[in-house]
Amino acid sequence: MDEKTLKPQAHETPELPLPSRRTRLLAMLSVMGPGILTALAGMDAGGIATFSVMGSNFGFAMLWSDPLTCLLLIVVQETAARMACVTGKGFASLIREQFGIRVSTVAMLATVMSNFAVTVSEFAGIASGMALFGIPVFVSVPIAAVTAWLLTMSGSYRRVEKVLLAISCVFATYIISGFLAKPDWAHAFHDTVIPQLSGDPSYISVLVASIGTTISPYMIFMVSSNVSEKNLGERDIAGQRADNVSGALVSQTIAWFITLTTASVLFPLGIKIADAADAAKALVPLAGQYASAMFAAGLVGASFLAACVMPGITAGAVCEAFGWERGTDRSWKEAPAYRGMVTAISLVAAVIVLVPGADLFGIMMGAQIVNGMLLPVLLVCMVRIASDRRIMGRWANGRTWNLLTWFTIVLVVVLTVVMFAFQAIGY
Amino acid sequence: MIYLSQLVGNPVFDLNGERIGKVNDLGIATGEVFPRVTALAIEGPSKTPFMVSWRKYVESFGESEVRLKVVATDIRFSYLQPSEVLIARDLLNKQIVDTRGARVVRVNDLKLSDTSSSQLRLLGAEVGVRGILRSLSPTLERLVLRAAKSLGRSVPERIIAWNYMDLIDRDLSDVKLSVSHKTLDELHPADIADIIERLDPRLRGQVFAQLDEERAADAIAELDDDAMAAELMGGLNDAAASRMLSEMDPDDAAELVSELDYDKAEKLLRLMGVQERKAINQLLGYREDTAGRIMTSEVVLLPEDASVSDAIRAIGELDDDFESVHYVYLKDEEGRLSGVVGMRALITSDTDARLADISFDDLVTAGPDDDQEDVAKDIAKYNLLAMPVVDDNRHLLGMVTVDDALDVLEEEHEEDLQIAGAGRSDSDRSQAGSNILWLLRSELWFFFWMAGIALLATIIEPQMGLAHTLRFALALPVAVIAARDAVSFTTNFYLEFGPEDEDAPSDLGFMLKGLGLGLLFSAMAILIATGVEAVLSPGRPLDGEGILVGFAAAAISIVVSFLSTPVYLGVLRRRDASNRETSGQVLSSVAMVVAVAVFVVATVLLSGAVLV
């Protein structure tokens, strides 16, 4: 785009004309994208469900966790992006080259399992969101699956990225519905800043879920592969930081508004909900039809966004680790593994949601468990690569950042263990 | 035969059977087709690695252990020589280029073979699935092999020999390689370009930097993606980049420079030799997509009275990187182009013959501002290998060669296809995906119909009831498909007649023709619908309760669609003039949206009027 403006006009001058200021701004903006998109894709069906439940069941009492998860999100995403900027390689490539084939096979297997389960949950999210508009499952899911599949299979990454960023505008609906819910702002801000702890097992399990759904394994792969795909280098690290921080801020602001909405409408009346569609349904008589429709539209858009990126990220990571050809611009003949995997994940996930009486809740629980076990492994790999000066040079992790990453790892491990313990004793 | 995966991690014992560490890596001497293993890297008890000479110290090796000839205290460490490569560090798990298959692969394992009792050689890198299985666990490999065998299949090893590998991550340029080593440099530039396109963006730059300048220049000219070429140039240091530009044919170089950002282009041009810079700047002075832009200034131009031997000498004195010579052009005393001598005439004539006597003077020429497509078509028409480009005074500026003309035709063909709505013509794209996309594209009207019904229903359903809404919407497809056809009417016209085509009807003519078609079709639609209505409900007055309102709205929409064809034509021409690609698909989608909107508005007005 910007090169075009540089082309000399006709014969008058053989010298090149001056560049416009706009070109430089565009160059800055062109670095943005991977971080925001990843953070937003993380705010998927599972995320919306968790944050709705958080508000409806505990009111404002858990709003304080939002800035904390935001910080953790920034730590993880920034590290992943920085690694990709320095090495020019995706995370899967780095694992393979640093830790060998066994570790990467295990990591890839787990990634496939967890991302597949997440994809299933996205389709389930689309189904329940569309159902609120009266559209039956057997209509919404096939259409969504085919559209998502076509989007991942056709065209260049740059074009797909633009489409996805456009889709992610639906998140504005949550902010609107937050305002429509007329919350008690002063109270909400107070509770955001002042933590309130509780030993209530369900309180803790929602807390675990909120961290688990925000920081998930795929995001490391997604950020790093998008960054290396864009061939961002060390001088783009500043831009990447801005990108990732703003991405995390935006996604956690949305989370805050979701919690705010359900907390100010459903919590005072003691309406307990189990998922996002419940929340939207419960909103109708209280906050009006529009708030509810906004909520449902957001759910559909968010799930669709994640369903679009998930198969591609998974297949890309696996192919990267094993050295198979990959990418949206490769044909079936050139990249059978990549295309096959994308197709299989989208297709099977959609079919599972369509099967009547499928245990969707069980699948999502399974996804959570695999995520919980995989995340610390990947984070340890990540922190070891990121703090290795031979690989990262002067961009290696500083002490604070290492400390924060380890804190994240310990937190995730502890929370996962706690959650399993609760599940074992029957909560 | 043994694999690296079976050796790494094995315990190392000295003469006394004392365990001194485990195998960490092997060093190879890179000078041979099957390089000898020269060094053993051992990881000692305190995790510190050290290297010893393989030939001097290793007594035996196997899948379970390595034994040394001496006791631990007698070992002297050695250091990695510049000509040595550590195979676990530099090869295993890394991406390499298979220069025979011209592909990028990842090394899963390395196959070694013992040629004598103590000598071990690297046979090659295993890049297939067996390497993955074996590295996971040898048992797994055996199980899979057995399973495959029982199904009557074999899982062959895919080995790439050392002399067909090119390392990407480690620059081997300072390692002395054997003569037989086939590196990326030796591939055809088009193959190099293919490999480069398949690499991760960062590796592209690294691989590219390893090529020698001439190869790099050829390869970059072969890249299909101009943006990628510009990015690669951007990654080079300025001196190297400008040398490479000098190395390229001026027309390719000019194209590349025009893709670079201003500062970079300026800097590179300044670093170049005066001659080349002049050539490139001159080409850049012409508008894009003209003969001037794609011509090369490297032509052989001689005075008329020169002899054949003069011509042969002149050709002999040219640089190696001179654009290939197809013709010798002649100029008269005033420097005007006066004739051309083909290679064949040059070879078969007496050496002292005057060129003017054997020349062909009925020349087909092009001006520098002529459209590149016209020039390419003329080259095809007159069966030329190159067409001279002259200025107004018939001074020779350069020539457009047939290879550039072919590129132009291909490019224009693709653009035309896209305007015609067929999408990109990459034939080797995913078949399944593109078939579905093709279907979706051609049946797009259906989605607009459905969207139109939904829109119509939200607007008039509350007052008119569902049955009426549907009755109206029955006519919507006619309007939508007519809109699509109006666009293809426009694109056909556009593709058939360029803006400067003399036999093209005038724009007014085009508009009137479009209007006529629209009116004709809408009249037909209304008439036939009236007839059908009469058959459906004989004897009833035509009061708007039936399907007629819908068809009237459709007729209005059809006329609007055909009336707006000059607008679409204008858009196509404007975008072409500013060199932007236009997708026919987008145009027809826009047209269909407009048609739906017009239809809905017309229906609301008509039905409302009828009701009132």
pLDDT of residue A345: 92
Nearest CA in chain B to A232: B202
Angle value at C-alpha B594, between B590 and B595, nearest 5 degrees: 115
A30 touches chain B (CB under 8 A): no
**Are B495 and B554 part of one and the same domain?**
yes
| Residues B276 and B249: beta-carbon distance below 8 Å | no
Q: Which of A6, A87, A133, A339 to mutate to test the interface with B (most CBs of B within 10 A)?
A: A6
Of A7, A8, A332, the CB nearest to B431: A332
**Over residues A306-312, mean pLDDT:** 88
Model confidence at B171: pLDDT above 70: no
B431 touches chain A (CB under 8 A): yes
pLDDT digits (tens, 9 = 90+) for B322-340: 767 788 888 888 888 888 8
Nearest CA in chain B to A12: B285
**Are B9 and B127 part of one and the same domain?**
yes
B590 touches chain A (CB under 8 A): no
**Are B71 and B109 part of one and the same domain?**
yes
Domain annotation covers residue A6: no
B274 touches chain A (CB under 8 A): no
**Over residues B431-458, mean pLDDT:** 80
A11 touches chain B (CB under 8 A): yes
Closest CA to B226 of B263, B252, B251, B205: B252
Closest CA to B472 of B557, B554, B556, B532: B554
Check B430 against A14: CB less than 8 A apart.
no
Task: Tally the C-alpha atoms within 13 A of residue B462's C-alpha that lie toward its C-beta.
Answer: 3
Of B132, B231, B282, the CB nearest to A101: B132
**Are B216 and B271 part of one and the same domain?**
yes
Show Cβ contacts of residue B502 under 8 Å, excluding neighbours closer than 6 positions: none
Q: What is the CATH number of the domain that holds A320?
A: 1.20.1730.10
Q: What percent of chain A is modeled with pLDDT above 70?
A: 87
The pLDDT-based confidence of B545 (bands split at 50, 70, 90) is low
Check B261 against A23: CB less than 8 A apart.
yes
A136 touches chain B (CB under 8 A): no
- Which residues in chain A touch residue B144, judged by CB atoms under 8 angstroms apart? none
Q: How many residues does chain A have?
A: 427
Q: Which of A3, A139, A332 to mutate to test the interface with B (most CBs of B within 10 A)?
A: A3
- Looking at the complex, report in whole angstroms how far the Cα of residue A38 sits from the nearest Cα belonging to chain B: 20
| Residues A387 and A402: beta-carbon distance below 8 Å | yes
A4 touches chain B (CB under 8 A): yes
- Looking at the complex, report in whole angstroms how far the Cα of residue A205 sits from the nearest Cα belonging to chain B: 36
Pairing of strands B300-303, B58-61: unpaired
* Distance in angstroms (rounded) separating the CA atoms of residues A337 and B129: 12
**Over residues A304-308, mean pLDDT:** 87
* Distance in angstroms (rounded) separating the CA atoms of residues B464 and B530: 21
A101 touches chain B (CB under 8 A): yes
Domain annotation covers residue B437: no
pLDDT of residue A74: 92
Nearest CA in chain A to B254: A7
pLDDT digits (tens, 9 = 90+) for B47-83: 788 888 888 888 888 888 888 888 888 888 888 887 7
Domain annotation covers residue A82: yes
- Which residues in chain A touch residue B93, judged by CB atoms under 8 angstroms apart? 96-97, 100-101
pLDDT digits (tens, 9 = 90+) for B133-143: 888 888 888 88
Please name the residue that has the structure tokens 């099977």. Answer: A348
Angle value at C-alpha A33, between A31 and A38, nearest 5 degrees: 135
For the record, the structure tokens of B172 come out as 């081997």
B440 touches chain A (CB under 8 A): yes
Separation in Å, CA B64 to CA B11, B12, B13, B23, B321: 7, 9, 11, 11, 58
| CB pairs < 8 Å spanning A and B | 112
Check A10 against B105: CB less than 8 A apart.
no
| Residues B249 and B281: beta-carbon distance below 8 Å | no
B270 touches chain A (CB under 8 A): no
B284 touches chain A (CB under 8 A): yes
ipTM: 0.72
* Distance in angstroms (rounded) separating the CA atoms of residues A162 and A36: 12
* Maximum C-alpha span of chain B: 118
* Distance in angstroms (rounded) separating the CA atoms of residues B11 and B24: 10
Q: What is the pTM of this model?
A: 0.71
* Distance in angstroms (rounded) separating the CA atoms of residues B54 and B59: 9
**Are B35 and B147 part of one and the same domain?**
yes
Q: What is the CATH number of the domain that holds B540?
A: 1.10.357
**Are B446 and B544 part of one and the same domain?**
yes
Of B379, B400, B417, the position where a domain reaches its end is: B417
For the record, the structure tokens of B356 come out as 């003017």
* Distance in angstroms (rounded) separating the CA atoms of residues B229 and B216: 11
Strand partners, B338: none
- Looking at the complex, report in whole angstroms how far the Cα of residue A73 sits from the nearest Cα belonging to chain B: 26
pLDDT digits (tens, 9 = 90+) for A30-49: 666 778 888 888 888 888 88
Q: What is the CATH number of the domain that holds B361?
A: 3.10.580.10
Of B417, B450, B473, the position where a domain reaches its end is: B417
| Residues B129 and B145: beta-carbon distance below 8 Å | no
**Are B112 and B245 part of one and the same domain?**
no
**Over residues B380-395, mean pLDDT:** 87
Q: What is the DSSP string of B176-211?
A: ---TT---GGGS-HHHHHHHHHHS-HHHHHHHHHHS
B307: amino acid identity, one letter: S
**Least reliable range by pLDDT among A152-166, A243-257, B392-406:** A152-166
Domain annotation covers residue A83: yes
Domains identified in chain A, total number: 1
* Distance in angstroms (rounded) separating the CA atoms of residues A44 and A222: 14
Q: What is the CATH number of the domain that holds B255?
A: 1.25.60.10
Q: What is the DSSP string of B449-489?
A: HHHHHHHHHHHHHHHH-HHHHHHHHTTHHHHHHHHHHHHHH
pLDDT digits (tens, 9 = 90+) for B510-534: 888 888 888 989 888 888 888 888 7
- Which residues in chain B touch residue A18, judged by CB atoms under 8 angstroms apart? 262
Q: What is the CATH number of the domain that holds B132?
A: 2.30.30.240
Domains identified in chain B, total number: 4
Rg (C-alpha) for chain A, rounded Å, is 22
**Are B281 and B348 part of one and the same domain?**
no
Domain annotation covers residue B178: no
Closest CA to A306 of A157, A110, A125, A136: A125
- Looking at the complex, report in whole angstroms how far the Cα of residue A262 sits from the nearest Cα belonging to chain B: 30
Please name the residue that has the structure tokens 């703090």. Answer: A387
**Are B376 and B454 part of one and the same domain?**
no
**Are B15 and B147 part of one and the same domain?**
yes
| Residues B563 and B490: beta-carbon distance below 8 Å | no
Model confidence at A369: pLDDT above 60: yes
Domain annotation covers residue A344: yes
- Looking at the complex, report in whole angstroms how far the Cα of residue B133 sits from the nearest Cα belonging to chain A: 9
* Distance in angstroms (rounded) separating the CA atoms of residues B125 and B122: 8
- Which residues in chain B touch residue A336, judged by CB atoms under 8 angstroms apart? none
Q: Which of B104, B206, B430, B440 to mutate to test the interface with A (most CBs of A within 10 A)?
A: B430
- Looking at the complex, report in whole angstroms how far the Cα of residue A94 sits from the nearest Cα belonging to chain B: 10
- Which residues in chain B touch residue A14, judged by CB atoms under 8 angstroms apart? 281-282, 284-285
| Residues A92 and A326: beta-carbon distance below 8 Å | no
Check A105 against B258: CB less than 8 A apart.
no
- Mean pLDDT, chain A, rounded, equals 81
pLDDT of residue B503: 65
Check B285 against A7: CB less than 8 A apart.
no
Of B99, B132, B166, the position where a domain reaches its end is: B166
pLDDT of residue B556: 92
pLDDT digits (tens, 9 = 90+) for B237-281: 777 788 888 778 777 788 788 777 777 777 777 877 777 777 777
**Domain limits for position B556:** 442-611
pLDDT of residue B558: 92
**Are B71 and B127 part of one and the same domain?**
yes
Angle value at C-alpha B551, between B546 and B554, nearest 5 degrees: 150
Domain annotation covers residue B429: no
Q: Which of B96, B198, B269 to mutate to test the interface with A (most CBs of A within 10 A)?
A: B198
* Distance in angstroms (rounded) separating the CA atoms of residues A107 and B511: 64
Domain annotation covers residue B149: yes
A16 touches chain B (CB under 8 A): yes
Please, what is the angle between helix B476-496 and helix B444-464, to 10°? 150
Domain annotation covers residue B423: no
**Over residues B153-174, mean pLDDT:** 72
Closest CA to B237 of B277, B275, B264, B211: B264
Nearest CA in chain A to B255: A7
**Are B269 and B302 part of one and the same domain?**
no
Closest CA to A42 of A191, A157, A211, A192: A211
pLDDT of residue A14: 38
Torsion of CA B474, B476, B481, B486, to 10 degrees: 140
Check B132 against A4: CB less than 8 A apart.
no
Check B93 against A97: CB less than 8 A apart.
yes
B135 touches chain A (CB under 8 A): yes
What are B513-519's contacts with CB under 8 Å, separation 24+?
A: B514/B486, B514/B489, B514/B490, B514/B562, B514/B563, B514/B565, B514/B566, B515/B559, B515/B562, B515/B563, B517/B489, B517/B562, B518/B482, B518/B486, B518/B558, B518/B559, B518/B561, B518/B562, B518/B563, B519/B559, B519/B562
A89 touches chain B (CB under 8 A): yes
* Distance in angstroms (rounded) separating the CA atoms of residues A161 and A226: 9
Domain annotation covers residue B422: no
* Distance in angstroms (rounded) separating the CA atoms of residues A58 and A35: 30
Closest CA to B441 of B488, B510, B495, B509: B488
**Over residues B417-435, mean pLDDT:** 56
Check A102 against B136: CB less than 8 A apart.
yes
Domain annotation covers residue A12: no
Domain annotation covers residue B176: no
B136 touches chain A (CB under 8 A): yes
Pairing of strands B37-43, B337-342: unpaired
pLDDT digits (tens, 9 = 90+) for A147-201: 888 887 776 556 666 777 777 777 888 888 888 878 888 888 888 888 887 777 7
Check A3 against B260: CB less than 8 A apart.
yes
Rg (C-alpha) for chain B, rounded Å, is 36
Residue B270 CB coordination number (10 Å): 10
B273-282, B539-548, B603-612 — which one is most confidently predicted on average? B273-282
Domain annotation covers residue A20: no
Check A3 against B230: CB less than 8 A apart.
yes
**Domain limits for position A371:** 38-225+233-424
**Over residues B350-359, mean pLDDT:** 83
A234 touches chain B (CB under 8 A): no
User: Quick one: which H or E segment has residue B220?
Assistant: helix B213-222
